[in-house]
Amino acid sequence: MKIGIPREVKTREYRVGMIPSGVEQLRASGHEVYIQKGAGEKSGFDDADYREAGAIVLESAKEIYDQCEMIIKVKEPQPEEYDLLRPAQILFTYLHLAPVPDLTRVLQEKQVIAIAYETLQEENRLPLLDPMSQIAGEVAPLVASYFLSAHTQGSGVLISGATGVAPAKVLIIGSGTVAKSAAKVAAGMGADVLIMGRNRSAMSNLEETLPENISTIYSNRYTLEKILPTVDIVIGAVYITGERAPKLITKEMLSLFKKGSIIVDVSIDQGGCIETSRPTTHEEPVFEMDGVLHYCVANIPGSYPLTSTQALANATVKYAKRIADLGWREAVKQDDAIYSGVNVAGGFVTNAPVAKTHGIAYHELRDIIDQCPLYEVHS
């Protein structure tokens, strides 16, 4: 199979979909790998590294999309990439389709085989979401601490406090990987950390494994409204596989916050768990509403590409190789994890939460797989 790695075009997205060791693995199985010039530079890998591993370096994204049956990316296609997609082409990347109806429609119209990292499940785990959830969670307290400073219009509270002065209070909403990672770093910075969730088993595990300056509390609206006036930082860390994130903090609740406090909505990829959140970029990461700063960058790990690229690529290559070795049809028949990752195929939406969110008919993949067009080889 011909596999293509284009350069990411999302604002300040410095990761790349594959590292040279992944190229070597695919080449050893007889596949051809094409990468766009300069795609790996910000992740610490230059074109010579990829050539040495056996990749063919091409100048433009169009060449990559025109020649390759499978495209491996990091972030969802941006509008300027829509026209590059081709029928029956495999797209393996983060998609987060629930809040993006236009992209869902394009993938249908183009009859792309769209396999999403974030819905691929194996033994009740999300093996391709977890590495980036860990990094996003670890970064969240760092950026929150920075934007609490007075020169960024924050409250001027130092997250660690000082001798005789109480530390910042951090509320983390959620109890998964993002929450655990955020709590670990926030606690390590000296903050007073409270995790609010509904999964009692997960919260019990967090209490047993995390430092003593972390406590947990069961999530409900009444308790949330009582806590919000006491916190300096809120980290939204809610993820329901494939679905839009529920709006747990409403616009009206902003009046409960301290002025100059900050929200870091890590759930923004799935629409955000704060009603007032909207996607921001690394160029303009925050906005203020009702005296509360909102940090809603949709690609937080993209700022740390030397770490995050390797963590992601090491996780994805096994599945990419299986898809390439077997072809996507046989791969989904043999591998339930890959099956669960397919969101759109042959013009059909095959992920139930995405279909429900957009009011589109849902089709079980196994029922429509034979209706999907075959990929046409172009010379």
Tell me which residues are annotated as active site.
96, 269
Distances in whole angstroms, Cα of residue 323 to Cα of each of 71, 179, 189, 320: 11, 31, 42, 5
Buried b (16+ CB within 10 A) or exposed e, 48-74: ebbeebebbbbeebebbbebbbbbbbb
Q: How far apart are CA 179 and CA 88, in angstroms?
A: 37
Q: Which two tokens stand for residue 153?
A: 């219009």
3-state secondary structure the chain: CEEEECCCCCCCCCCCCCCHHHHHHHHHCCCEEEEECCCCHHHCCCHHHHHHHCCEEECCHHHHHHHCCEEECCCCCCHHHHHHCCCCCEEEECCCCCCCHHHHHHHHHHCCEEEEHHHCCECCECCCCHHHHHHHHHHHHHHHHHHCCHHHCCCCCCCCCECCECCCEEEEECCCHHHHHHHHHHHHCCCEEEEEECCHHHHHHHHHHCCCCEEEEECCHHHHHHHHHHCCEEEECCCCCCCCCCCCECCHHHHHCCCCCEEEEHHHHHCCCECCCCCECCCCCEEEECCEEEECECCHHHHCHHHHHHHHHHHHHHHHHHHHHHCHHHHHHHCHHHHHHEEEECCEECCHHHHHHHCCCECCHHHHHHHCCCCCCCC
Q: Which two tokens stand for residue 180?
A: 């655990």
